[in-house]
Structure formats: C-alpha cells, structure tokens
Amino acid sequence: MDRPYIAGLDLTGRRVVVVGGGTIAQRRLPALLDVGARIELIAPAVTPAIEGMAGADEIVWVQRRYEPGDLAGAWYAMAVTDDPTVNAAVAQEAEEQRVFCVRADRAAGGSASTPASGEWHGLRIAVASESVGPGSAHGADPLRAAVVRDSLLEWLRSGAGDRILAERKQDTRAQKTQNPKLPGVALVGGGPGDPDLITVRGRRLLGQADVVVVDRLGPRSLLPELSPDVELIDATKLPRGRSMSQEAINAALVEHALAGKFVVRLKGGDPYVFGRGSEELEACLDAGVPVQVVPGLSSAISVPGLAGIPLTHRGVAHEAVIVSGHLPPDNPDSLIDWTALAKLHGTIVVLMGVANLPAIARTLVEHGRDPLTGVAVIQDGSMPAERVTVSDLAGIGEVAERENIRPPAIIVIGDVVGRRPKEPGNG
C-alpha cells in the first residue's frame, strides 16, 4: 500500500471488528465510536478503559483469541495485537473476505491505513502519507502525518488566518530548538467529555506532552490526535471493577517527570472536583516535581447546563450543592449529612451516585424532601450518546432500573428539573 486512496467511510451502524485490546485499540476506538460504528472487539484481555466501554455497552467484547471466520460480515477490520502472526492472519482473512483492514504493526501489510486525524468546527481533518522504505530521509510515516495534522489544526484553531500561516513557516522550524521543554506535570481538566469543551490551554499542553496519563472520563476523542511517540498510560477506575490505584497513578506522574518528560494528567471534568487533583499535586510537590493545574469544566455544572437544566433559577432555587454518591447514605464512612440535605429547598447534584440512587432518593424522602421533587439523570453528558431520564424522588429508583441507567451519569435533584425546555420527544 504505497499510495493510499483517501476516502471517508460511513460506518454508522455497520459491523467493525477490532482484534486486540491494548493501548493501540484504546486509541483507535473513540474515533469509531464517534461515527456510530457497531464495534466487536476480540481479545482475551483488554485495558481497563476498553473494559469500561464494554461494560457501558458501547462495544461488544468477545473475550477470547482471534479465530478464522471472525471477520465474516464485517465492513472494516483492525488488527492491533502485539503478535505479528495474529495480525498477519487477520489481514489475510480480510483480504480473502474483501474487507478493508488496518494492520497496526505493519502498515504495508494491511489494505487500509488510519490517517492522523482531528476535528475543527465539524470539519474532519485527515493526513495520510505514502509508505517509505528503510533509510528514507523523511522518517517515520505516522510521525510525519501527525506533525502536519497538529500544525494544521493549531493554525485553524488560532483564528489568525493568513497571518499565522505566513509566520508559521519559520516558527515551526525553530520551535523545538528555541522553546525550552516544558517541565514536570500538568493536571489538566478535560471537561465533561466533548473534546470541544476542554480549555484552550489544556489542549495546547496536551499537544506538547511526552506522556499522557488518562482515565476513561477524560475527553477520549482527543487521544487519536496524539503523536505516535506519546506514551499513553491508562489510569481508568471502573466502578466495582479494575482500577489503577491512586498510588500507582501518583508514582507514574513522578517517575516520568523525573525522567525529564513532560507529563499531562488528563482528567474528566475539573481536577479538583472529586478528581483527586490535590492528591496528585501533593505527590508531585513532595517529589520536587514542578506541577501546574489547568481547571476544567466540571461535569456537575456543565452537563446539566448542556441538557437545559439550570442549577439555580430565580424564584425556584437559590442554592446548589454538589455531593458524591459513591457511598450509600447509611455507610459509616460517608461524610455527607443527608438529613441536612433533605431540608434544603435548592438543587442537589450527585456525582458517582448511579448505584446508590434508590437509597439516596429514599433517604431524602424519609428526612423530609417532597417525594414529588424532580430528578434528572443525565448519562454520557455532552457526548453523542447522551440520554436524559426524568422522574421524581418517589419513582426514580424504579425508573433508573427499568431504563438500565449506567455510569457515567450526573443526577440533578430539585425543582430546577422542571425548568428544562420541553422539546419534541422530550415530554
């Protein structure tokens, strides 16, 4: 595949088979999910983030090794294991089945390639390069494509137009030699999930990272934009499932920073709103590592807003309280005074509370909150799969179970739920 033909595939609702469950697959899946592909991933083991996607029914995970015949009926395939023999077998079957296939370990061995891509105001930018042989003066193809893609997106997002384009020809050549390497760690809040909602500063620092430590709630659609030489560390914490311990995350930040690399800790929402950002900052400071904090849009505020629910409203709510629901109200380790919360007239926003929602609703009613108080549960807020379920305190437990609500979801309790604009199909 010396000269790829660039085309846009409509994979919406179509079966795509991904063989392999490591970090390469983790980088490639978000783009497939964004276009609505029906993904079947085949691997005996996967990263925690991919396990989270399977648990949220975003993909189907077939927990075994690849077998001949797995590509039957597929429209597109990816061979992304760390075993060249398996990748070769997948590519061979794809050739026989006339299914376009990307082979991650040997681009020339597949019938398709994944370009370096990004998005700007609904415009999808893709850069693909011709294959180059050993000893080529141009260097590695994926890196060259990523550099061009990054430069183009930076120019487009700057808004400076032709002036930036003219100046960049000289600036790009001197950038790495003139600008000192960024030190230490940046704790970057990525916002609720939509890649357009990360701050300008956060996105800029992400583009300069040597190492990115990311969890499943970060804006995963930005991962395909990372340069191929950026090391990706999966810091996913699955509810009641696989998790990278906070101690291990802290150690990874410090270790790579002390090795002279610029580390971006990409987190969902804001680092300091139930994000353990302060723990990570303390670990870096204790080790003598320079650290900076880039605030992000907290999902507690942004997700209800995007769903049309104000947290405060004149004559309706003059207060809004954000609490964690990861522990049930009767848990002795809980630091929340649910009795006091029940007496409030304003809005209660609960994060990480899906599993304990029935107990939370029951406790609030038992301590005086009106059972007819509105409740909205916003699942996958800001993302294409966003779903809003509305009920009241008396019925939300049953409704949540019937609707199979799963995390991540933001729970809004209060009369402000009734201020949500009524739209066709929105009751």
- Non-local (6+) Cβ contacts of 200 within 8 A are 157
Residue 6 one-letter amino acid? I
Write down the catalytic residue from 70, 194, 237, 261.
237
Confirm if 375 and 361 have CB atoms less than 8 A apart: yes
d(CA 334, CA 318): 26
Rounded to 5°, the CA angle 135-138-140 comes to 80
Report which DSSP code applies to 319: -
**DSSP per position, 80-108:** --S-HHHHHHHHHHHHHHT-EEEETT-GG
Which residues of 75-184 form beta strands (DSSP E)? 76-79, 100-103, 116-120, 123-127
How would you label 219-238 residue by residue, b for 16+ Cβ within 10 Å and e otherwise? bbbbbbbbbeebebbbbbbb
Confirm if 66 and 89 have CB atoms less than 8 A apart: yes
Q: Which has the closest alpha carbon to 281: 324, 307, 250? A: 250
Task: Identify whether 380 is a catalytic site residue.
Answer: no
Task: Identify whether 215 is a catalytic site residue.
Answer: yes
d(CA 125, CA 145): 11
Full strand arrangement of the beta sheet holding 263-267: 231-234, 211-214, 263-267, 185-189, 291-294
Beta bridge mates, 188: 266, 294
Write down the catalytic residue from 215, 234, 270, 380.
215
Full strand arrangement of the beta sheet holding 320-324: 320-324, 347-351, 409-413, 374-379, 387-392
Region of 27 please: left (phi>0), alpha (psi -120 to 50) or beta: alpha
Catalytic residues: 215, 237
